Amino acid sequence: MPYPISFILQIMKRISFSIFILFLFSLCTLAQSEGPIPLTLAAPGTYNDSSELTVPGEELIYYFSYASDDYNGGYVYLHLISDKVDSRYFPSDGEYEINLSGAPKSILAGYKTDLYYGSYIVPVVNGNSRGICFLDSGSVTVAGNADNCTITMRFRASDNNLYNLQYNGPIQTLHHDTIPYMSESAVSSVDFTADHCEIYQFPEYNEFDVYLVNHTDNLVIHVLGNLPEDGNIYRTLNVSHIDDDETPGVIWKSKGFLDGTLYPTFLASFSGDYYTTDSLYFIVDGSLTLTQNDDGTTSVAGTLASFYGSEIRINYRGKVSTAVNNVTETRLKVHTEGNILYIDEESTDEYSLFDSAGRLVYQGNLKSLTITVPGIYMIRFKDLTEKIVIR
């Protein structure tokens, strides 16, 4: 189901000393059900960062999912404070009452001041969000251990519905650096057959970009890597390292979604000129083989693996749009100083600036432009494309 990355991250930033449990549930059946609705683990893990706590206890994040179909479900945010955790960061057994005390072994009821706090649900019916409904009363019972636990939730929300949910299974520990990947889609196998391919080489930055597009399913793979020492990218390239590393001939691992930027390499869905999160996979392993065929076509094939273990099998054979930006006469004349972009072209025609998530961040003819967010940007001016890096 499509849910914006920014919404998830914004909620996580708003509540800084708590335990969240994020659930996707079937709205159509939960309120009527007498028995607990089973939940499955969507992203394998929990999050702990006790350094941010302002009360005794521990902070964790669990991410579960349940949906009746592609259009009905929702989110449950459960703000839970444990009095202690074991060596696997699993909270204490027992019952956690929903109230406003903020004490260990309690769940903070939902409320709003300038922002939303505590525990609440966001129902989605027929693809439309019904807004935030606060958890008013009830309890959560925790039993077992990280290898085999049962988490049972019984609560009433401000929509006056009663909810009864339960998770059974293992919980793995994730650390702080996994948070940028939490927006990744559920684990699956993806057969990606592209119908369009673009390859760009940027010797000045020792980098290359490959865009593989499937217009039928509105999916795109953005591969970013370092050029091999001989400059020939038509070979097998392995996923290795994360961006700034200068190792030649490798594909970058994705850093996930950080500070509003979607970092390659990734697979994402798209709508028009923008990436969406209907499907989103952050690539951290695998390889691609690029081949120039005798008939003038190019083949791109291989298998990539995402952060949470999804397998993406890639296949393309056809014509490729290519550009090697190393000839001064054919390059867009731009340069950067710090976080300021300077356009050195004499023309006053408009140019477009896109961030690494494919979003248009500026369109106009300013000769100098201050860019406040570090990252990778693409400039398009007439039939020329140039990449810049703001650090």
DSSP 8-state code for residue 368: E
More confident residue, 7 or 360: 360
What's the whole-number mean pLDDT along residues 63-74? 61
Alpha carbon 124 to its chain's center = 20
Please give the pLDDT value at position 245. 64
Confidence of residue 282 (pLDDT cuts 50, 70, 90): very high
The two tokens of residue 357 are 């998530």
Q: What is the pTM of this model?
A: 0.50
Contact status, residue 224 vs residue 233, Cβ threshold 8 Å: no
Contact status, residue 225 vs residue 253, Cβ threshold 8 Å: no
CATH class belonging to 328-390: mainly beta
Work out the percent of the chain whose per-residue pLDDT is above 70: 69
Question: Residues in the chain, how many?
Answer: 391
The two tokens of residue 174 are 């994730």
What's the whole-number mean pLDDT along residues 158-187? 73
Please give the pLDDT value at position 200. 86
Contacts of 195 (CB under 8 A, 6+ apart): 213, 214, 215, 216, 316, 318
How far from 175 is each of 92, 164, 179, 182, 200, CA to CA, in Å?
Answer: 19, 29, 8, 11, 35
Please give the pLDDT value at position 56. 39
- pLDDT tens-digit readout, 251-262: 999 988 765 577
Highest mean pLDDT (candidates 232-246, 346-360, 375-389): 232-246
Confidence of residue 271 (pLDDT cuts 50, 70, 90): confident
Please give the pLDDT value at position 292. 93
Confidence of residue 308 (pLDDT cuts 50, 70, 90): confident
Measure the CA–CA gap between 202 and 208, rounded to whole angstroms.
Answer: 6
Measure the CA–CA gap between 96 and 106, rounded to whole angstroms.
Answer: 5
- Helix H, strand E, coil C: the string for 298-338 is EEEEEEEEECCCCEEEEEEEECCEEEECCCHHHCCCEEEEC
Confidence of residue 330 (pLDDT cuts 50, 70, 90): very low
Please give the pLDDT value at position 305. 93
Q: CA Rg, the chain, in Å?
A: 24
Largest CA distance in the chain: 72
Measure the CA–CA gap between 5 and 313, rounded to whole angstroms.
Answer: 24
Please give the pLDDT value at position 53. 32
For 34, counting Cβ atoms within 10 Å of its Cβ (0-12 exposed, 13-18 middle, 19+ buried), the class is: exposed
Q: How far apart are the first and last CA of the chain?
A: 34
Contacts of 385 (CB under 8 A, 6+ apart): 200, 323, 325, 332, 378, 379
Least confident window among 144-158, 292-306, 322-336: 322-336
Confidence of residue 357 (pLDDT cuts 50, 70, 90): low
What's the whole-number mean pLDDT along residues 46-57? 38
Please give the pLDDT value at position 24. 41
Question: Please, what is the average pLDDT of the chain?
Answer: 75
Does residue 353 have a pLDDT over 90? no
Please give the pLDDT value at position 195. 93
Measure the CA–CA gap between 116 and 72, rounded to whole angstroms.
Answer: 23
Domain ranges of the chain: 5-181, 189-323, 328-390
